[in-house]
Amino acid sequence: MKAARVHELGKIVIEDVPIPELNEDDILIAVQRAGICGTDVGVVDGHVSATYPVTLGHEFSGTVAKLGNPSLTSLKEGDPVISGGGWGCGECELCHQGLGLYCKKRFSLGRNVDGCMAEFVKVDYRVVQKIPENVSFDEAQNTVNIACSMRAVKKIDLQKVKTAAVFGPGNAGLIILQLLKLGGVEKVVMAGTRDFRLEMARSFGCDAVVNVKREDPVKAILKRFPDGVDAVFESSGRADALQSAFSVVKSNGSIVVFGIISEKIKEFDPSVFYYKEPVVYGSKGASGAYGETIALLEQKKLKILPMITHRFGLDETAKAFKVFEDKISDALRIVIDVRP
């Protein structure tokens, strides 16, 4: 089968590799759509830890091709499915406590086990979920991100949130925005660098947008909300945005840090913890959020298709990554059509 793989940093090659062999706990999935995420780019350039060589990708939709042991699951060959991006070892104390997301021996697709940018991918049956009939492969390819965003949003009680700011109108930021509006947040302001994405935020119901290239986001947000906002979601991956979050959050408000910030904060005034008593949450992964996510997709509550701006065949994966990395102004969700 064909697979998009990384042997040496910075280089994606399309290779012919054997179709994975299955153990009892495995399911082989015929991949339909795979989405590119910042983590995949990190695997290519080395800022996300990985074991090479590796097949890229962890966000996808597909159909069940083969079951390692059909008696372990209600899934059948041909079922349309999605999968989580990883799973715990199942043996350590954390895994036994249901905290497999912190497992030190965690298997992560596209990082330390072969991922989904290939004709077939092998995953643990425990993380595979059937997708409803009315959800397309194009919508379902983003399920991992929706579930991760859902987990981030659920860190705080939205009943108490009237105003929110989101830094980073990327794929996840735009989903967080939609979840906040669905959850009844009255005013959401989005800060980002690309007008195309900020306009999309507006079309998804965002009440105000700030292009941080033209305006200081702290001043712009405090101009609209002089006391600050109840909740801030950092989904840009930038250290300066996290710093701004502390400036725009209301006293006793909440900050949720989504995803991986790989830069360091150079100067930080920790007295803010005394003066404002902000509550800060990290959010890693999607565990516990898949059920609600799939229900939202089934109810057509989210706008997922307008976010797909580019499509490439599996052979063109390197080109697709280049569009992602070059931060092309009108690029947002880039999808690999593994089976067009």
Which parts of this chain interact with Zn ion (CB under 5 A)?
A: 37, 39, 88-89, 92, 95, 103
* Shortest Å, Cβ 58 to Zn ion: 6
Task: Name the residue nearer to Zn ion (CB basis): 39 or 317.
Answer: 39
* Shortest Å, Cβ 97 to Zn ion: 10
* Shortest Å, Cβ 59 to Zn ion: 5
Task: Name the residue nearer to Zn ion (CB basis): 110 or 253.
Answer: 110
Task: Name the residue nearer to Zn ion (CB basis): 88 or 228.
Answer: 88
Task: Name the residue nearer to Zn ion (CB basis): 96 or 300.
Answer: 96
CB proximity list for 119: less than 8 A, separation 6 or greater: 1, 2, 3, 19, 30, 31, 314, 338, 339
The CA–CA distances, whole Å, from 1 to 18, 115, 209 equal: 6, 13, 45
Task: Name the residue nearer to Zn ion (CB basis): 9 or 89.
Answer: 89
* Shortest Å, Cβ 125 to Zn ion: 17
Q: Residue type at 99?
A: L
* Shortest Å, Cβ 47 to Zn ion: 14
Distance, CA of 248 to CA of 242 (rounded, Å): 10
Specify the 3-state DSSP secondary structure of 225. coil
* Shortest Å, Cβ 36 to Zn ion: 9
Strand 333-337 versus strand 308-313 pairing type: parallel
Neighbours of 319 (CB within 10 A): 13
Task: Name the residue nearer to Zn ion (CB basis): 37 or 332.
Answer: 37
Task: Name the residue nearer to Zn ion (CB basis): 39 or 244.
Answer: 39
Place of tokens 């996840």: 172
Beta-bridge partners for 225? none
Task: Name the residue nearer to Zn ion (CB basis): 93 or 326.
Answer: 93
Distance, CA of 93 to CA of 284 (rounded, Å): 19
Distance, CA of 6 to CA of 78 (rounded, Å): 29
* Shortest Å, Cβ 96 to Zn ion: 8
Task: Name the residue nearer to Zn ion (CB basis): 228 or 259.
Answer: 259
CB proximity list for 34: less than 8 A, separation 6 or greater: 57, 59, 60, 115, 116, 117, 141, 335, 336, 338
The CA–CA distances, whole Å, from 298 to 34, 133, 204, 305 equal: 20, 8, 18, 14
CB proximity list for 21: less than 8 A, separation 6 or greater: none
Rounded to 5 degrees, φ, ψ at 229 are -110, 155
* Shortest Å, Cβ 168 to Zn ion: 14
The CA–CA distances, whole Å, from 169 to 20, 91, 203 equal: 36, 38, 12
* Shortest Å, Cβ 211 to Zn ion: 25
